[in-house]
Structure 1
Amino acid sequence: MYQTPLTSIFPNANSQIWELQYATHPSVQSKFKRCLDIMGSFVGLLILAILFVPIAIAIKIDSPGSIFFTQERYGLKGNTFRIRKFRSMVSDAEQLKSLVSNEANGLIFKNKNDFRITKVGRFLRSTSLDELPQFWNVLVGEMSLVGTRPPTGDEVMKYTQRHWKRLNVKPGLTGEWQVSGRSQVKDFEQIVDLDLRYQENWHPMYDLLLIAKTFYVLFRRIGAF
């Protein structure tokens, strides 16, 4: 068991202090899962190496700005790490966020017709090619192929004790949420339910099942925008 007080992560928070206790989830110690992550990340990084130049050129032609979008996320036990995605929005997307209405409920932000998404970015999102750089996070052990969606800092600041249970496992490139509709799931509590269901149902073969379902969802382009 270990403890992670909310104020150790947000020392300036004036809200209620949560003393959160987590039991180490079996998936964290699984050698099979780690080997699967390493093999999968090598395949993913090989695909990234092949597609990097055409994707980078397309992003640059379509919209001025960086090729990558970089953001701090929260992972296992509340540890922070940085993810990189191929940029799918205009470079000043954060400044324009207040102009976009949130179509989701709870601690997530979704809008199907978000004007900040570029033409190339919409294609990258629908095919999940924007996620390719995160295979590096999988290789170094910050993420897993299968897990929970890694939250941002503004999300975890509003977490309840139930929400923090999501971080009992490593965040994943795919998971229950991604194979259950992805962006079509617009209720944060439903996402939490799916993440906790993954923890309850997990066994090594379950990861393989979710990976297989992910390929089906990707090829059908189900739920991504």
Structure 2
Amino acid sequence: MIMNSLVIAVIARYPQLREDRTTLFMFSLSVSDLAAGCTFMPISAVLCSRVTPGVVDTVGLLPKIHAFTMWWFGFNSMYSLCWLTISKAIVILNPFKVERFLTRKRCYIIVGMNWMIGGLLAISVFTRDIPWDIARCTYGRANERGGTEAYLLHFVFGVALPVSLIVYGTLRIFIVVVRTHRQIVALLVTTPSERPVSSRFTRYGPPETCSSFASFRYFSTFLS
């Protein structure tokens, strides 16, 4: 919670950080994690506490609120991280097309859709009785009360899909960085006589090296 609060405060305090469009996804991720820490975690602690015996087997408001916060903030956190990875991949793979692909309006639309879709999915928990064993995602008697469908839905859209996109984007970034590193090393080890002299890119190397170097610079910014 402290780290998320610091991220939100820094982004809100320094306007120059908001010039980077991908910072919006990081801001949304921090807000979602902070909200989950203020709502989801305390409710889980109350429901799992031995101070309230018997409440875990009831069908009441607390299990629904628990499931609501888990779906809303969990969905938004996963997909904010997913879009953050994809946006950085776009910056690295196509550094000269960022202004066209990642417009500020599109970033705001993506963040708004994340919160809206997560909220709509979360509101659905209030339309049915949700026992605590389903709300906390433990596979027990929940299997007899429709828990299998809830687990499958949560796994596919809340875990498998965003994780697959994150892994794909990270692998693409890794491949570009490895390729760029090899090109830079090859450029540094060559002697001046071996470098091309009849090109307007003589100073910085061939065109693909220039774009790759820009990609490497963007990736260094991403890691920092």
Larger strand proportion of the pair: 1
Pick the structure with greater CA Rg.
2
Common fold by TM > 0.5: no
TM-score (norm 2): 0.22
TM-score (norm 1): 0.22
